[in-house]
Amino acid sequence: MIFDESTLRKLNQLSLVASRIRKGAIKGERRSSRRGSSVEFADYRNYTPGDDLRRLDWNLYARLERPFIKLFEEEEDLAVYVLLDGSRSMGWGEADENKFDYARKLVAGLGAIAISNGDLLSVGLLQNGRVSAEFGPTRGGAALSRLFNFLEPLQAEGDTDLNTSLRHYAVKPRRPGLLILVSDLLSAEGYEAGLRHLQGRGHEAALVHVLAPNELDPPLAGDLQLVDVESGQTQDVSLDGSLRSRYKAHVQEWLQTTRADCRKHDIHYLDLATSTPWDQALLLEMRRSGIVK
C-alpha cells in the first residue's frame, strides 16, 4: 500500500477539503450531477468501467448490444489525466525525500480528489518514451482502492523522453480534460513540445515539478565523477564553493525559466521540493498554484 491507515484517513479528509473547495470554485461553470434535477438528454458516449449503471441506456443496449451512457446537457464531469514520470531519475532521494514515492502520493491524492468529485480519472506512467502503464479512465468510489493497487507496484526505472512519451499519450483520442504531469523534468529533450501538443488537443495542462532537496543544494565537494543514474553518463567536476554556488544559482534560474515558460503557455505550474510534506503540497501549494480549485 502506498498509504497506511492513518494516511488514508488523512487523504479522505483532504479529498473532502478539496471537494469543498471545488464545489465553491466551480459554481456556474459545472453543475454537479447529484444536484441536477432538470435532466435534458444531449448525447451518448461509450460506457467505461466504473460509470454509473443507472445512466446506461438499456434500450440502446438491447438494440445494438453495446453499452452506451446517456449524457445530459447539465451534467459535465471532468476528465482528469494524471501523468507520472517513471524515469530512474525520479527514483532519486533518500527515504521520505524520494521523488517517485512523493510523486506517487501526489498522484494518489489528486486521484482521490478527482474520484471524490465523480471526475473521470486516468493515470499514466511515462517510461522509455511511451506510456508503460495506464489506469482508467474510471470513476466512482471503488476506483480509489484500484488506483492504489495500480500505483503500489510501480517502479522508477528506464529512461525518460518526456516529449515522446507525451506525444505517445496524445495519439489516443481522449476527451479534453485536465492533464497533470508530475515529473522532475530532468529530460534532455525537454517536455515543452509534448505538453504543447496535448494542449493542442484541448487539454488543460498542469505541471507539478518535483525535486529532491539534495538536487537543489547538493552536499558534495571535492574532485568527483558524477554518474547519471538514468543514463549512466559521467561528468567530472572539481567541486569547490564557487561551482556549488553556480550550480545552485543555475537550478534556481532553471526553475524561474520553467515557471515563466509555463505562465506564457497557460500551464499551471508548481515546483515542489520533496521536503515539503505531501499533504501540505496538496492542500496549500496546489491550491495556490491553481491546479486544485
Partner 1 sequence: MQFLAPLAFWLAVLAIPIILLYMLKLRRKQVQVSSTLLWQQALREQQANAPWQKLKRNLLLLLQLLILAALIFALARPAWQTRAVASGSVIVLLDASASMNATDVSPTRFEAARKTVRALVDELAGDAVVTIIEVGYTPRALVTSTSDKAVLRQAIDGAQVTQGSADWQSAFALASGAARDDQNITTVIVSDGGLPESGLPALAGEVRYVPIGVTGDNLAISALALRASGGGLQLFTEVHNFSDTARSVTLSLYLGQTLFASRPLDLPAGKSASITLEDLPNAPGIYKAHLSDPQNSTLDSFPLDDTAFAIYQAASARRVLLVSKGNIYLEQLLASLPGVQPYRAVPAADGTIQIPSDPFDLYVLDGLNPPGIPAGANLLYVNTPPNPLFTVGSPFTDMKNVKVNEHILTRFVDWSNVHVLQAKKLIAPEWADVLIEADAGPLVFAGEQNGQRIAAVGFDLRESDLPLQIAYPILFSNLINYLVPPSAFDASRSLEPGDGLSIVPDPGVEQILVATPLEHAFTLRPEANLTFTETDELGYYAVNFISKSGTSVEYFAVNLFDEAESDLRPRETVQVGQSTLTAAVAEKVGQREFWPWLAGLALIVLLVEWQMFHRRNLSTLLETVRPKA
Q: Which residues pair with 182 in a beta bridge?
A: 84, 208
Check: CB of residue 189 under 8 Å from CB of residue 162. Answer: yes
- What does the alpha-carbon distance between residue 146 and residue 50 come to, in Å, rounded to a whole number? 11
Check: CB of residue 188 under 8 Å from CB of residue 194. Answer: no
- Selected binder of partner 1 within 217, 271, 281, 287 (CB under 8 A): 217
- What does the alpha-carbon distance between residue 168 and residue 152 come to, in Å, rounded to a whole number? 24
Q: Does 96 bind partner 1 (CB under 8 A)?
A: no
Q: Is 21 left (phi over 0), alpha (psi -120 to 50) or beta?
A: alpha
- Min dist CB 115 to partner 1, Å, is 31
- Selected binder of partner 1 within 4, 46, 222, 266 (CB under 8 A): 222
Q: Does 260 bind partner 1 (CB under 8 A)?
A: no
CB of 149 or CB of 257, closer to partner 1: 257
Binding mask 142-161 for partner 1 (x = CB under 8 A): --------------------
- What does the alpha-carbon distance between residue 225 and residue 272 come to, in Å, rounded to a whole number? 27
Q: Does 51 bind partner 1 (CB under 8 A)?
A: no
Q: Which helix (H) or strand (E) holds 214?
A: helix 213-216
Q: Does 233 bind partner 1 (CB under 8 A)?
A: yes
Q: Does 140 bind partner 1 (CB under 8 A)?
A: no
- Selected binder of partner 1 within 149, 155, 234, 280 (CB under 8 A): 234
Binders in 171-210 for partner 1, by CB under 8 A: 184, 186, 188
Q: Does 226 bind partner 1 (CB under 8 A)?
A: yes
Q: Does 95 bind partner 1 (CB under 8 A)?
A: no
Collect all residues with Cβ–Cβ distance below 8 Å to 288 and sequence separation of at least 6: 270
How distant is the alpha carbon of residue 244 from its chain centre? 32
Q: Does 52 bind partner 1 (CB under 8 A)?
A: no
- Selected binder of partner 1 within 9, 250, 263, 288 (CB under 8 A): 250
Q: Does 254 bind partner 1 (CB under 8 A)?
A: yes
Binders in 97-136 for partner 1, by CB under 8 A: 99
Nearest CA-CA partner of 215 in 103, 128, 90? 90
Crossing angle of helices 99-116 and 5-26, rounded to 10°:
50
Footprint on this chain of partner 1 (rule: CB under 8 A): 89, 92-93, 99, 184, 186, 188, 212-231, 233-238, 240-241, 243-244, 246-247, 250-251, 254, 275
